[in-house]
């Protein structure tokens, strides 16, 4: 037991140590300051800008930035949809796989273009190498870079700067952050034993004399952007529990670092943009404290095990159902919380097999979306909560609310409310519709409280752009493919548009001089109030489904 908790603590200490360095690096990149990669990447960027006709690189308004995202993502989505529909006619298809059903192709395209990577299929028997590389792998870079660009544009707007140019930010995010990180990570994964080949499945003869086909492929380069870009979609159906994706402890540790580093470091990037690293540190530790509590709750639950199984064995045993023995209960619990906190969605164990408190933690992460949140956008959500906190505290003390020296008025509160309300709407409404027809729509395999969690988890995963699932759910149906596509699209693009309009509105406001009565947002008191607002809103919004799902299941097991 102590060894497991020591592993978790050591991993978290290393994660905390590296995030400020990456945060400063990303700030230098997006502030246009000199970096070590300039001599290598600037010629590449010039070629990209020339081919794209971006010689002027004009700054965009919030609506122009949003339009650029919508148009580019639509174009990329159509491109990927056609590749998947015609994959049987394309090269790099060693097992001659035919095209999936149209509704599955639609869901897959929407899922990957929105940086969600929710998979309703078995990759080994559904996707050719061409589809994995040219379609899915392509979107893993562009969707992650899109989210990162939105996060940076939002930070610029909050600090009074122009929002920038989406195409420049998209290119910069890929060439300066995602691509270099992926090259280094892919090499490390190759060293740890992850395959990278275009050969077809390996053929082996078992001890019984039967023929076994072992799926493989260009996994290493795919795996690292899956993790670094908060994508989460696996090359194999068991995702990072598969030995070809995650063969050992070293690869597992690299995966944790890759998932965590960018979302956490962006808080430090914000501090450099605002010249207020004190506030960045306070926010980082606020989020980290909530994160550690959820990790502890999950780890303790997995270590204590299932009470029903323990009563049969006559002793307390960790819950090892749905886990890889090479990782054990501790690393699986830590990974489960990180992958839902960062909106990655990659899994190294089955979340459907977690104890109820693990289910609670993973759901709670996706409900809040700010611990640590998705690629770029999660950081923006955090500051949306801060704006709301400033507004509420301003009402309590009778002062005009201000954030970073700019007044918070009706337009900002309307956009903030839209951002915070769209997610629960896209989770709870389709959940209610699905549960109204459980026999024909739900696909629940575990009746009772756990079955409710399966349905809620699927829509929360879609709307939060996470992609993981309680995999006991029978989700490859017309209903699930189409209904989750609505949550995928709404959960991605409605908040993005609102965030950019909010940032644009803030950037155009004249700064208000600071006075003795100005509410400082870089104090411990304000940070504590912000944490309270975040937790109260999250609990009040989703408490009924948490109470009827994992909480009720926990009490049921204790009986």
Q: What confidence tens digit (pLDDT) does each residue in 454-466 have?
A: 999 999 999 999 9
Mean pLDDT of 328-351: 93
In this prediction the pTM is: 0.94
Cα–Cα distance for residue pair 69/372, rounded to 1 Å: 23
pLDDT of residue 474: 83
| Per-residue pLDDT band at 56 (split at 50, 70, 90) | low
Whether the Cβ atoms of residue 159 and residue 405 lie closer than 8 Å to each other: no
pLDDT of residue 215 exceeding 80: yes
Instruction: Outline where DSSP puts E strands in 313-411.
Output: 402-403, 406-407
| Per-residue pLDDT band at 245 (split at 50, 70, 90) | very high
In a domain, 23, yes or no: no
Cα–Cα distance for residue pair 456/447, rounded to 1 Å: 14
pLDDT of residue 51: 81
Mean pLDDT of 501-522: 83
pLDDT of residue 336: 95
In a domain, 446, yes or no: yes
In a domain, 495, yes or no: yes
In a domain, 527, yes or no: yes
pLDDT of residue 516: 67
pLDDT of residue 55 exceeding 80: no
In a domain, 31, yes or no: no
In a domain, 22, yes or no: no
Cα–Cα distance for residue pair 179/57, rounded to 1 Å: 22
∠ CA 553-555-559 to the nearest 5 degrees?
Answer: 115
Whether the Cβ atoms of residue 92 and residue 198 lie closer than 8 Å to each other: yes
Domain range for 302 = 2-17+36-558
Cα–Cα distance for residue pair 22/29, rounded to 1 Å: 10
| Per-residue pLDDT band at 558 (split at 50, 70, 90) | confident
| Per-residue pLDDT band at 113 (split at 50, 70, 90) | very high
pLDDT of residue 102 exceeding 80: yes
pLDDT of residue 360 exceeding 90: yes
In a domain, 57, yes or no: yes
Report percent pLDDT > 70 for the chain: 98
pLDDT of residue 99: 92
In a domain, 24, yes or no: no
The total of structural domains in the chain comes to 1
């Amino acid at each position: 037991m102590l060894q497991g908790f020591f592993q978790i603590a050591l991993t978290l200490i290393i994660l905390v140590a590296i995030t400020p360095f990456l945060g400063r690096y990303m700030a230098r990149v997006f502030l246009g300051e000199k970096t070590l990669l300039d001599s290598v990447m600037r010629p590449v960027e010039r070629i990209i800008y020339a081919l794209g006709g971006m010689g002027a690189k004009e700054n965009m308004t919030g609506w122009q930035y949003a339009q650029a995202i919508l148009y580019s993502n639509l174009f990329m989505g159509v491109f990927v949809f056609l590749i998947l529909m015609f994959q049987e006619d394309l090269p790099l298809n060693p097992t001659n796989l035919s095209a999936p059903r149209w509704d599955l192709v639609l869901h897959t395209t929407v899922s990957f273009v929105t940086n969600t990577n929710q998979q309703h299929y078995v990759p080994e028997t559904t996707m050719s190498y061409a589809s994995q590389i040219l379609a899915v792998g392509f979107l893993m870079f562009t969707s992650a870079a899109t989210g990162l660009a939105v996060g940076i544009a939002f930070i610029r707007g909050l600090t009074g700067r122009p929002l920038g140019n989406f195409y420049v930010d998209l290119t910069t995010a890929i060439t300066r952050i995602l691509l270099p990180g992926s090259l280094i990570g892919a090499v490390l994964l190759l060293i740890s034993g992850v395959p990278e080949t275009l050969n077809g499945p390996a053929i082996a003869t078992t001890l019984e004399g039967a023929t076994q086909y072992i799926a493989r492929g260009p996994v290493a380069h795919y795996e690292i952007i899956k993790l670094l870009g908060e994508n989460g979609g696996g090359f194999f159906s068991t995702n990072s529990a598969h030995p070809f994706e995650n063969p050992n402890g070293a690869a597992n540790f690299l995966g944790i670092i890759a998932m965590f580093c960018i979302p956490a470091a962006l808080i430090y990037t914000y501090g450099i943009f605002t010249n207020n690293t004190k506030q960045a540190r306070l926010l980082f530790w606020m989020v980290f404290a909530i994160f550690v509590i959820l990790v502890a709750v999950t780890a303790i639950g997995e270590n204590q095990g299932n009470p029903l199984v323990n009563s049969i064995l006559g002793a307390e045993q960790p819950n090892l159902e749905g886990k890889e023995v090479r990782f054990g209960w501790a690393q699986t619990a830590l990974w489960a919380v990180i992958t839902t906190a960062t909106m990655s969605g990659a899994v190294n164990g089955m979340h459907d097999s977690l104890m109820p408190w693990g289910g609670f933690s993973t759901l709670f992460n996706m409900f809040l979306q700010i611990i640590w949140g998705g690629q770029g956008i999660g950081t923006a959500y955090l500051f949306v909560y801060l704006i709301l906190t400033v507004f509420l505290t301003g009402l309590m003390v009778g002062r005009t609310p201000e954030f970073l020296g700019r007044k918070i008025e009706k337009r900002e509160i309307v956009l903030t409310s839209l951002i915070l309300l769209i997610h629960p709407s896209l989770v709870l409404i389709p959940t209610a519709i699905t549960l109204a027809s459980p026999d024909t729509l739900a696909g629940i395999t575990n009746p009772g409280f756990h079955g409710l969690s399966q349905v809620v988890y699927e829509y929360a995963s879609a709307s939060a752009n996470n992609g993981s699932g309680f995999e006991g759910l029978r989700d490859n149906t017309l209903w699930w493919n189409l209904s989750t596509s609505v949550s995928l699209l709404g959960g991605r693009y409605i908040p993005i548009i609102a965030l950019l309009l909010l940032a644009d509105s803030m950037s155009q406001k004249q700064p208000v001089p600071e006075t003795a009565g100005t509410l400082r947002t870089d104090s411990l008191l304000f940070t504590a109030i912000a944490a309270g607002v975040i937790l109260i809103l999250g609990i009040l919004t989703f408490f009924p489904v948490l109470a009827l799902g994992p909480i009720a299941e926990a009490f049921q097991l204790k009986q």
